[in-house]
Amino acid sequence: MPKGANQKFKLYYLMKIMLEKTDDEHSITMPEILTELERYQVSAERKSIYADLQALEKLGVEVIGEQVGRTYYYHVGSRQFELPELKLLVDSIQSSKFITARKSNELIRKLESLCSEYEAKKLQRQVYVSGRIKTMNESIYYNVDSIHNAITENKKIMFQYFQWNLKKEMELRHNGEMYHISPWGLSWNDENYYLVGYDSDDQMIKHYRVDKMLKIRMSDEPREGKKYFEKFDIGTYSRKNFSMFGGKEERVRLLMDNQMAGVVIDRFGKDVSMVPVDDNHFSISVDVVVSQQFFGWVFALGKGVKIIGPESVVQQVNQEIKRLVEQYNME
């Protein structure tokens, strides 16, 4: 049999065919394998294919042969990623606000290459998340990588920070001056990615929306603030900062209806201590950054929750209520 033009790539194309054309629900026969190889300008005999399928096994591609009647059918068994795992990754990408629509499509196409062409069609799905608006900053994908590189190299980063104005234009903060921050971690909170780092000038921990960072570059200066992060837990930090808005951290006491137990666990985790007050209520003491966003969370729970301490925070709540009454006074 004359050799095809791509004969030296025979094993590669055989692997490609098996991965793309077969899965647990779709198999291929030996004549079909030979036909597919011919499309890649590779000629082969049955005997050599048997040996090549065994070689694929050694390369980590599990090929299962099953006899049905007088015909043998072959398909790839276990893969690096199972279909349910890929579906989960696709759903995460599509529902992630911080990944642009274009970058989402690119990532999903790459995930489709990890399964058969039949399973790939099942990944072409739309996940709808209420209120989701994809970010318009394409560079976030590379911002995250730059931040991780700086953390690995133990260096500060420099960047510009912007906000949107009424004309829907990027407006640089601090007159466009560069921020100099020591990056220590990234937090995914309320559908946004945040850099958590140390500001040497203000000597405090701060956070920044990654999709609002521009022109990130690594500095030659080593990171600072190590002592602040030795026992720092970014997950705890995110729970304290409602919607990542700043404010003063306080130990706040809340009185809650028993039916709010699930809300408490969802927000603060199972380690929070819920102390029974009476048959219908319990109290908790939690560290939170007191802000309007925190008050908004409390108000949204209605009669089910009440701030009972400390007195300074109760006063702030009363001031916020007074402000809302004045703002929406219809008289």
As a whole number, the mean pLDDT across the chain is 84
Same domain, 177 and 248: no
Q: List phi, psi (to 5°) of 28.
A: -140, 145
Q: Nearest Cα to 217, choosing from 173, 264, 176, 179?
A: 179
Assign 3-state DSSP to the chain and report helix, strand, coil percentages, each to 5: 45, 25, 30
- The verdict on residue 142 lying in a domain is no
Can you give the residue range of the structural domain that contains 294?
242-327
pLDDT at position 131 over 50: no
pLDDT at position 227 over 80: yes
C-beta of residue 20 within 8 angstroms of C-beta of residue 117: yes
CATH number assigned to the domain comprising residue 15: 1.10.10.10
Going by DSSP bridges, is the β-strand pair 179-189/275-276 parallel, antiparallel, or unpaired? unpaired
Q: What is the pLDDT of residue 331?
A: 55
- The verdict on residue 305 lying in a domain is yes
Q: Is 215 left (phi over 0), alpha (psi -120 to 50) or beta?
A: left
Same domain, 15 and 46: yes
Q: Looking at the 3D structure of the chain, how many domains does it have?
A: 4
More confident residue, 128 or 65: 65
Could you tell me the end-to-end alpha-carbon distance of the chain, in angstroms, rounded to an integer? 95
Average pLDDT over residues 53-61: 90
Average pLDDT over residues 132-140: 60
Same domain, 52 and 103: no
Taking the alpha carbons of 146, 151, 153, 158 in that order, is the dihedral positive or negative? Answer: positive
Same domain, 208 and 163: yes
Instruction: Give the end of a domain, one of 235, 265, 289.
Output: 235
Q: Nearest Cα to 298, choosing from 255, 244, 247?
A: 255
Q: Nearest Cα to 305, choosing from 291, 289, 294?
A: 294
Q: Nearest Cα to 190, choosing from 262, 121, 245, 139?
A: 245
- The verdict on residue 147 lying in a domain is no
Instruction: Give the end of a domain, one of 50, 76, 102.
Output: 76
pLDDT at position 237 over 80: no
- The verdict on residue 129 lying in a domain is no
Instruction: Give the end of a domain, one of 218, 235, 252.
Output: 235
The model's pLDDT over 85-110, given as tens digits with 9 standing for 90+, comes to 888 888 778 767 667 777 888 888 89
Geometric angle at alpha carbon 291, from 285 and 295, rounded to 5°:
70
Same domain, 268 and 313: yes
C-beta of residue 63 within 8 angstroms of C-beta of residue 75: yes
Same domain, 247 and 306: yes
Same domain, 57 and 107: no
CB atoms within 10 A of CB 208: 20
- The verdict on residue 151 lying in a domain is no
- The verdict on residue 149 lying in a domain is no
CATH number assigned to the domain comprising residue 251: 3.30.70
Same domain, 306 and 255: yes
Q: What is the pLDDT of residue 128?
A: 45
Same domain, 71 and 87: no
Give the global pTM: 0.53
Average pLDDT over residues 41-62: 90
CATH number assigned to the domain comprising residue 231: 2.30.30
Q: Is 96 left (phi over 0), alpha (psi -120 to 50) or beta?
A: beta
